[in-house]
Chain A
Amino acid sequence: MKRVWARWVVLAAIILGLFLFTGFFGIGLGIKPIMPHVYLPGEKLSETPLFGIAGLYPTNTLVGLLLADIVVILIAIGVSRGVKSGKTVLTGISGAVEALLEMLHGITEGTAGKWTKQIFPWFATITLLVLAANWSGLIPGNETVGLIHHYDHGYDLKQVGPITTIWDEGTDDGEHHGEYAIVPFLRPVSTDLNFTFALAIVAVVMIQVFGFRSQGLGYLTKFWNTKTLFSKPIFGVIDFGVGILELVSEISKVLSFAFRLFGNMFAGAVLLFVIGSLVPVFAQSMFYLLEFFIGLIQAIVFGMLTMVFMSQATQGHGEHHEEAH
């Protein structure tokens, strides 16, 4: 036990030393931290459209999506191999995935009741995919390694050994006059509005599908509620108005799903850049940890909101309202 403790201290000292060394080394050599230019849509890696379809360019967020997909598929293969091996206690990654899925299944059972079996796959799939997409933004080299292209308000070029990099030759007045910027090869796909909107539309459409599956065409009375329009003088009109509002809220669900994930992840990426350009040593590590946490929270929130809305759609709002009045 004592030896393990000593090993941690030595490791921490080595990492601290490396931090300080690179920090002072960089200052000594006159390397200035760089604030890369922030670009909201996914950047194009090539100007030729994919498969000859106009407007479909290979962007770096597309590479991020492929990476996230591959990770999810590899996890699936690993877990199924672990399950087939016949061990009662799964170890390693499949054990971790089992713990996560068990937690998600517990939450689903508490909310969805008898629809757990139908709703849980959506919850788990969305959570795993978004989690892989969010955490792919934490891989070192992501958003910093890429193609150099021409950009008017960029930095200068410099050859460091075998690597060509952008370099701030900056004058003292803070102006830089270089003309180059980097288009990274890889960018987490959740910083692309196209991905979050697609996922949000899939989620909201499936919420309606679950409503129809559980209540048939009666689900439509949630939006066009004329049942009580003539039997109850004032509350009938209110019920009708609430139905119209429900329709609006379904549309705003798409917006809030998409912008919540996109806003959190894009702001996180920009935050890491800004902190890195202000304090090149130490400070970024803390925000890196914060991003790790936010990536997990946002993935679970996206999946959990989908799950809760789905189970609300299966429960039938109309009946509850009548009991309440």
Chain B
Amino acid sequence: MEMETQGGTGRFAPKVHPLSRSATPDDPMDLNAAAVPGDPDVLINALVQEYAWMGWDGDEIAALFHDPFYPMLHGLLEALGETGVRDRINAVFNRDGVFRFRTTVHEAPDDHDHEPEPEVVQIGAFNLKRKEQDHVDGL
């Protein structure tokens, strides 16, 4: 029996990207999940506080949301929008006053006079020529 194809020319099923297919709930290998209620505002407030506690400022935190490889925050950006994210960051900063203070220590310069001269190492290829009689696979 020949299989129907989109072009109708051959015996092969059309190649479809798996993620383009519709979900089939009765397929045991398909991912299924139940919606779990939750509040994105609680998530964004908690995360902004965590970074604020580490001394990050509003711009630094906002930049994190644009990184698609940090999907938790990126998902929030998609759900709430740029303005929504900014408003919430500002709200956390305004409410908590933000635990952020900084001490700067100016280091003394390196002591060049007493540094030992670095040892010069010559990097070169070893002699890879192998003697035929020493190796059974010598060519």
A, B: real partners: no
Q: Which residues of B contact A (CB under 8 A)?
A: none
